[in-house]
Amino acid sequence: MFDLEDYVETETAVAIAATALILSPRARRVVRRGVVYGLAGILTAVEAGRSLLQGTRAGFTAAVTRARPASQINLN
């Protein structure tokens, strides 16, 4: 028979969690939602970072253009 110490071991806990995940529709649904929301969060963060970089690049380019003397702009 199993003792309480058997359930406390890491390998046993992982096996029990995996079995519950495989057999439980509710657990699968929760994991699936977690994966979907996590992926959506990552994609949102990447898009926000990309947008921030594009805005920074545009601002830097505009600042450099305004800082150039008029003679340099006319020569190009």
User: What pLDDT, in 10s, does the model give residues 3-43?
Assistant: 766 667 788 888 888 888 888 898 889 989 999 999 999 99
Domains of the chain: total = 1
pLDDT, position 57: 95
Evaluate whether 35 touches 27 at the Cβ level (below 8 Å): no
Structural domain of 36: 4-75
Closest CA to 21 of 34, 36, 4, 8: 34
d(CA 59, CA 65): 10
pLDDT, position 70: 56
